[in-house]
Amino acid sequence: MAPIKTLREAPRSGLVQWHIDTGGLRRRLRLLAHAGEVLRDLHARGITYADVSDRNVFVSAPVHAHEAWLIDLDNLSNESSLGNAIYTPGYGAPEVVARNSGNMPHTDAWSFGVLVWQVLTLGHPFVGDVVNDGDPDLEQQAFAGGLSWVRHSTDDSNRCSTGLPPEGVLGAKLLEVARQAFEAGLRDRAVRPSVSKWVERLHIAADQTVLCTSCRGTFFVTAESCPWCSAPRPEVLPVRIKRWQPEHELMSNMQPLLRGGSSPADALHHGRKMMAGMRPLLQLPLTVEGLTLPCRITLPDRGAGERDGHSARDVHVEIKLVDRNRGISVRAMPGFEAWVAPVCQDGAKPESVMGRGRIVPATGWMLFFDEPGRAQRVALLGGDS
């Protein structure tokens, strides 16, 4: 294990290579999400951690690992009184620093948000150029929320020209969570994003990263080229996650397929009904790196018991781009089930991808994560279907 502060203490030179060698953007996003999950689970039990900081969050030392832990558990409590509130300088919520509040879940959420900003941008959300170049007392004022945060929507008096650009390491949606926390949530803790919201957006941001085939850094798929080395973005095929809500008539026609019976009389007609029954949820990038879909994505509405003991992090399906012309390899991981079927094709029968899996065309196919006759999430593979 190593303190997460090692991921934000950049060297004086070689920043890009250091960032890549320590796991890059995707690993940082995932580690923060996993640390947030621990904190979120404490809050779900009515417990406040109190002292979130870069010294109390530890992460896996191996660069390929993504585990996170909270240490120093002596301060766990249901909530604290004003006189007993604790915090690490730079991480305390404004109301805690001002001694107007004890430690509570919403003060933990503030501290966690600061940690997210630091690890990703390598700066503090309230330490801009005016603080870096000014009197030391300004830092204390900034830590207490006495200055505007560095990306304030209307006040640029505390803008920051150092560190990594927020748009490139947070993305638009995670940046909006930060804005809600440090702008609207500065004085109104009722609108401050919860740790759960941070975790959700961190995972989504990590899901939207791709691996540069040149420098091996990771970056958001929305960029046309790698921000670390300027190499072109690798070729991407979309994997669109949608909600599959079959109508009663369609369900009755799918069940014979699962039992090996005859196909629907009008598969094209039912295929169109399939598409009408879906609503878009998210889109994931498939590159030569491949893609793994955990239960967090495939079975989000089920608890561990309903997933036969599997956790939200367990990989359900592995998808690999075999060849642009040949197709996509789809395989359910051991202990899981999944099926593929063409979106619209006469005589279509869902086929299992357990065991060795199956190679399907690079477009026009759908992937079921549960029995096809049930309402669930599905993945549409490749381009428009």
Right CATH for 237-381 from 2.60.200, 3.90.1720, 3.30.360, 2.60.40: 2.60.200
Contact (Cβ atoms closer than 8 angstroms) between residue 264 and residue 344: no
182-205: pLDDT as tens digits:
999 999 999 999 999 999 999 999
Tokens of 227: 């921000």
What distance in Å separates the CA atoms of residue 221 and residue 210, rounded to the nearest whole number?
A: 6
pLDDT reported for residue 273? 58
In the chain, where are the structural domains located? 2-123+163-220, 237-381
Q: Which residues contact 140 (CB under 8 A, 6 or more apart)?
A: none
pLDDT reported for residue 165? 97
Q: What is the mean pLDDT of residues 156-174?
A: 96
How wide is the angle at C-alpha 220 spanned by C-alphas 172 and 328, nearest 5°?
130
pLDDT reported for residue 304? 53
Contact (Cβ atoms closer than 8 angstroms) between residue 48 and residue 105: yes
pLDDT reported for residue 303? 64
In sequence order, which ranges of 277-346 are alpha helices (DSSP H)?
Answer: 295-298
What distance in Å separates the CA atoms of residue 19 and residue 21, rounded to the nearest whole number?
A: 6
> What's the mean pLDDT when you consider all of the chain?
89
Q: What is the mean pLDDT of residues 140-151?
A: 93
Residue 239 has φ and ψ, to the nearest 5°, of -120, 105
Q: What is the mean pLDDT of residues 263-278?
A: 47
Tokens of 284: 């994931």
How wide is the angle at C-alpha 219 spanned by C-alphas 119 and 358, nearest 5°?
120
User: Which amino acid, 336?
Assistant: F
Q: What is the mean pLDDT of residues 237-250?
A: 77
Contact (Cβ atoms closer than 8 angstroms) between residue 297 and residue 279: no
What distance in Å separates the CA atoms of residue 359 and residue 362, rounded to the nearest whole number?
A: 9
pLDDT reported for residue 32? 98
DSSP state of 308: T
Residue 242 confidence (pLDDT) above 80? yes
- Residue 73: pLDDT band (50, 70, 90) is confident
Residue 177 to residues 114, 170, 200, 203, Cα–Cα distance (Å): 12, 10, 10, 13
337-377: pLDDT as tens digits:
999 999 876 557 899 999 999 999 988 899 999 988 888 99
CATH architecture of 2-123+163-220: Orthogonal Bundle (1.10)
In sequence order, which ranges of the chain are alpha helices (DSSP H)?
Answer: 15-21, 24-44, 94-97, 105-121, 129-132, 136-143, 166-169, 171-179, 195-207, 248-258, 267-276, 295-298
Q: Point out which residues pair with 367 in neighbouring strands.
A: 340, 379
Q: What is the mean pLDDT of residues 227-253?
A: 81
pLDDT reported for residue 80? 75
Q: What is the mean pLDDT of residues 20-24?
A: 97
Tokens of 62: 């191996």
pLDDT reported for residue 264? 39
76-129: pLDDT as tens digits:
988 777 678 899 999 999 999 999 999 999 999 999 999 999 999 999 999 999
Residue 256 confidence (pLDDT) above 60? no
Q: What is the mean pLDDT of residues 154-174?
A: 96
What distance in Å separates the CA atoms of residue 382 and residue 299, rounded to the nearest whole number?
A: 21
- Residue 306: pLDDT band (50, 70, 90) is low
| Cβ count near 300 (within 10 Å) | 12
- Residue 248: pLDDT band (50, 70, 90) is very low
Residue 139 to residues 59, 99, 113, 144, 373, Cα–Cα distance (Å): 28, 18, 18, 9, 59
321-331: pLDDT as tens digits:
987 677 999 99
DSSP state of 225: B
What distance in Å separates the CA atoms of residue 283 and residue 368, rounded to the nearest whole number?
A: 16
Please compute Rg for the chain using Cα positions: 24
What distance in Å separates the CA atoms of residue 156 and residue 144, rounded to the nearest whole number?
A: 18
Q: Point out which residues pair with 358 in neighbouring strands.
A: 330
Tokens of 135: 């009197």
pLDDT reported for residue 323? 76
Q: Whole-structure pTM over 0.85, yes or no?
A: yes
User: Which amino acid, 373?
Assistant: G
Tokens of 349: 């029968």
